[in-house]
Structure 1
Amino acid sequence: MADLKVRDGTVSNRKITFFVALALFAQESTWNFYDNQVPVLLREHVSSAALVGLLMGADNLLGIFVQPWIGNRSDNTRTRWGRRMPYIAVGMPLGALIFLLLPWATSLAALVAVMFLYALVANSTRPLAESLVPDFIRPERRSRANAAVKIATSLTIIVASLISLFVVDEHPRGAFAIPAVIMLLATAVLIAKVRDSRSPAYQAALTEDAAAGHAEARVPFRQVLTELIRDPDRRRLLLLLTVVLFGGAWFASRSLITPYGMQALGLTRGEAGGLTLPSGVAYLLACYPAALAAERFGRLRTMAFGMIVFAVALAAGTLVQTATGTVVVFCIAAAGAAAFSINAVVALWNLAPSSRVLGTYTGLYAVTWYLGGFGGPALIGAMVDLTGWHGMLLDIAVLATLAVLVIVRLGRLQRRHAAAPVAF
């Protein structure tokens, strides 16, 4: 186990990056298969598409409350295994077992109950696994690690699709066992190999606990939120606002593309639904270069450049409204979005005031991203109602431009704090 103590060499960084990527790969394998197949289970009990959509979206709503809470709870946990692993070691196997129950629910009430339990447990483990990155890896290398993690989680879309394609028709219940087994195996590896009590951030938190004294060792979530809001340094709030705005633009570009393709481009439902497939590959290819660019040019500059590329590409898509042109535009936009998504949470980690609140900040990032995912499509949909489908890409570009303006302001504040030890 001594080999997981992070030293200056890159080998230990690669090991912990692999383990975090494995944890999130396992978790996202169940999430993506859940998104693929649970709507079908719901349709066996209800005919309303709106109700199915509402029930499927409830997990994101639950995440808004659960993820910052569990992140803060883990921040205040002290055990010989560390502060994240005790929850991961229990939560991931429990989530796998609950996941196995989904196809066996024989009534709507039972299915909704199992869905709620699964979403509760799954939302509790995700931010903890993500928080292992800033726990172990020093600030200047976190973008590389996060890029590897994003690539791993993106690949789970392919895994879920393959299980659906080759297994579900013949074994509709047994297919749920494959993602569950992946999660159980990943948990076994993590339990055997990872003790975050040995991470630099955990050791720094213990030092801060000792300096603060027993009465001040625990940092409640309310205290973290109050400090964030009242702090005259507005960089963290501006960064979270950027996440909300750009998250809204990103989710709108993904969730509304099928009706856009049908209404503006005259495509069939299937053809319109496939418009974003090449852009998924472009996103994966751009992840690691985005991390390297952040190390060379700075995270804020890389994020701003990526958002500008995203906005300009979609604005150009308004002028070239063909299926081929839209595919090209979305590939360019996805590459720009990667520059933002790989580096945004890293920038927030590096702005955290203490090693004791890294899990809480992971949860805060998730909340703002989910809020963007909830509000962005609704806002763009309202603009489409006013201006028509042909202007949708320009509407999204305008929302992304607002995010660029906020990060430009953030960049100015960062230059004023250039002496602060923050690895942008």
Structure 2
Amino acid sequence: MMHTSPSTPGGTPTLTPPPPTVRTPMSASAVLWVTLAVFAQESVWNFYDAQVPEQLRQYLTSAGVIGLIMGLDHSLGIFTQPSVGFLSDRLVRRRRGRWPVVLIGASAATVPFVLIPWAGSLPVLVVCVVGFAAIANAFKGVTETLVSDYVAAGNRSKAQGFIKAGVSLTIIISSLISLLVVDRSLRLAFAIPPALMLIMLGLSWWFLGRRHEQALLPEQPADGRRPDESDFASPWAVLRDALRSPSSPALLLMIGIFCFAGMWTALRSLTTPYATELLGLTRGQAGGLALPGAVAFLVCVLPIAYWSDRIGQLRAMRYGVALFVAGLLVGFALPTLPGTVAAMVLSALGYASFAVNALVALWNLAPTQKVLGTYTALYTIASSAGMALGPAILGTTVDLTGWRCMMLNAAAFAAVTFAVFTLMARRAPGRDTAPRTSAPHNERS
């Protein structure tokens, strides 16, 4: 795990490698059940991103306003996730685990989600959409932090590869529900994802939460001192420590997460109306456009995870953003169904490199294992802020330039993300923020 050095000649925090640690085998069973928990959560969010914009189009014609509503619901997590993540950290320290937060949150979020297709007016629809997002965003980061509880630090990047492979399956499931159910029964389509979420979270809790010991590791701070828990007595104290200066590695990483999450969410949110307006597809067909990209993501995410471990996480994320931009340019150059499918495949592969590495890179900057839930909140704050603004920004450019230029506009914004990761990579020594572990023969994790 990489850490920030508290004192440097210029007073600027830098990334320094900790002493080598003994490599711990990765539990396949623990990774499987953590993957199922994240899968359960993301199955709802992917269907939400694919179909709620089209639901809003029944009452709204402006892509910018639709994007603003899709973004505002994500912004609610900025206010709830630090406190909920810190609460989950306290539950872990008391050996109760994060599961009460996850299970209660999932049960409560199901109600407004199921009611979305029953809404008969715009105000009722907005209440359902915002109600679901407020509850689901509150526990979303807690579910993602489960991997840090059951998987040792040196294996988390690889574990994230398996988890993101599971997440890609949720995109496939969302696409299949869109293709097979939406055009026949919209109400049934909105009932399927939350039902799957509750069933799979229940199974994951039963087999993982009850039968696996947590894998919290001894502290190995970069300066050799154990962190004082009184320094992290509240979520805001943890945030102040992480973002203590404009050149903080955590702050730079959060800016990169903000930029890329914003454009990815914008692309996901506006692809369905883009395809119905520009390509002439039906709503169900347009909702299924994500399927080829999801398949490519599934096939390549594990090789990307192992490849990222070798070259460094920041470098892998930079290459991923470059591929994402290239995919968008292909979509702009070829505004046809095959060209759009190719764009979705390339952009999904670029996103895979980002998705595998971003959260683990941020965990690697944490001063202590006991605040990883709050550091996950940093990730979700950055990504939620990007999700809040990205769809509105891209939607506004569509209002100004038309659907024909949507891919080009997104590529221009994504290029800013590449510049941010380039700046951070130049400031990070060695293998960026990738953790370094050693086995008896100095084997690289």
Query: If the TM-score is normalised by the length of the shorter chain, which range does it land in?
Result: 0.7 to 0.9
| Cα distance in 2 for residues equivalent to 1:410 and 1:223 | 24
| Alignment match, 1:372 | 386
Change (3 A) 1:308 1:196: farther
| Cα distance in 2 for residues equivalent to 1:187 and 1:348 | 28
| Alignment match, 1:200 | 215
Matched, 1:9 2:21: no
Amino acid at match of 2:25: G
> SS of the residue aligned with 2:350?
helix
Instruction: Show the 5 A alignment for 1:226-305.
Output: 226-231=240-245, 234-257=248-271, 267-270=279-282, 275-305=289-319
**Residue deviations 1:372-400, cap 9 Å, x none?**
22323333444455656554433322322
The count of aligned residue pairs is 408
| Cα distance in 1 for residues equivalent to 2:113 and 2:334 | 44
Change (3 A) 1:116 1:90: same
Residue 260 (structure 1) shift = 5.1
Change (3 A) 1:213 1:163: same
| Cα distance in 2 for residues equivalent to 1:283 and 1:211 | 40
Match of 1:190 among 181, 199, 205: 205
Amino acid at match of 1:375: L
| Alignment match, 1:336 | 350
Match of 2:75 among 50, 58, 61: 61
Matched, 1:23 2:37: yes
Match of 1:404 among 418, 421, 424: 418
| Cα distance in 2 for residues equivalent to 1:382 and 1:99 | 27
| Cα distance in 1 for residues equivalent to 2:247 and 2:364 | 14
| Kept in 1: contact 2:82–2:374 (CA 8 A) | yes
Residue 268 (structure 1) shift = 1.0
Cα RMSD after superposing both structures: 4.2
Amino acid at match of 2:140: R
Of 319-328 and 413-422, deviating more is: 413-422
Change (3 A) 1:373 1:279: same
| Alignment match, 1:224 | 238
| Kept in 2: contact 1:299–1:343 (CA 8 A) | yes
| Cα distance in 2 for residues equivalent to 1:366 and 1:154 | 19
**Residue deviations 1:153-207, cap 9 Å, x none?**
33234434555635995794697377436514532541453269943337659xx
| Kept in 2: contact 1:84–1:196 (CA 8 A) | no
Residue 73 (structure 1) shift = 2.0
Instruction: Show the 5 A alignment for 1:138-217.
Output: 138-160=152-174, 162=176, 165=180, 172=187, 176=191, 179-180=194-195, 182-184=197-199, 186-194=201-209, 198-201=213-216, 204=219, 216=230
| Kept in 1: contact 2:50–2:272 (CA 8 A) | no
TM-score of the two chains, using structure 2 as the length reference: 0.75
| Alignment match, 1:91 | 105
- Higher percent of residues as helix: 1
Amino acid at match of 2:425: G
| Cα distance in 2 for residues equivalent to 1:78 and 1:260 | 44
| Cα distance in 2 for residues equivalent to 1:41 and 1:324 | 26
Of 75-84 and 21-30, deviating more is: 75-84
| Kept in 1: contact 2:313–2:357 (CA 8 A) | yes
| Kept in 1: contact 2:293–2:345 (CA 8 A) | yes
| Cα distance in 2 for residues equivalent to 1:40 and 1:309 | 28
| Cα distance in 1 for residues equivalent to 2:208 and 2:247 | 39
| Alignment match, 1:76 | 90
- In structure 1, stretches of 5+ residues that fail to align are 1-5
**Residue deviations 1:204-235, cap 9 Å, x none?**
59xxxx96677x17531221222222247521
| Cα distance in 2 for residues equivalent to 1:332 and 1:174 | 28
Residue 308 (structure 1) shift = 1.3
Amino acid at match of 2:235: F
TM-score of the two chains, using structure 1 as the length reference: 0.78
| Cα distance in 2 for residues equivalent to 1:36 and 1:372 | 18
> SS of the residue aligned with 1:222?
helix
Change (3 A) 1:131 1:202: farther
| Cα distance in 2 for residues equivalent to 1:120 and 1:28 | 15
Change (3 A) 1:108 1:136: same
Change (3 A) 1:95 1:192: farther
**Residue deviations 1:106-163, cap 9 Å, x none?**
9988876666554443223321121011233233322222222222233234434555
Residue 339 (structure 1) shift = 0.9
| Cα distance in 2 for residues equivalent to 1:413 and 1:387 | 37
Of 367-376 and 345-354, deviating more is: 367-376
Of 280-289 and 187-196, deviating more is: 187-196
Percentage of identical aligned residues: 38
| Kept in 2: contact 1:135–1:201 (CA 8 A) | yes
Residue 331 (structure 1) shift = 1.6
Change (3 A) 1:220 1:144: same
**Residue deviations 1:17-64, cap 9 Å, x none?**
111111122223344455677789989xx9556798776655323223
Residue 292 (structure 1) shift = 1.1
> SS of the residue aligned with 1:76?
helix
| Cα distance in 2 for residues equivalent to 1:98 and 1:213 | 42
> SS of the residue aligned with 1:230?
coil
Q: Which has the higher contact order (CA 8 A, sep 6+)?
A: 2
Residue 291 (structure 1) shift = 0.4
| Alignment match, 1:3 | none
| Cα distance in 2 for residues equivalent to 1:386 and 1:177 | 37
Residue 284 (structure 1) shift = 2.4
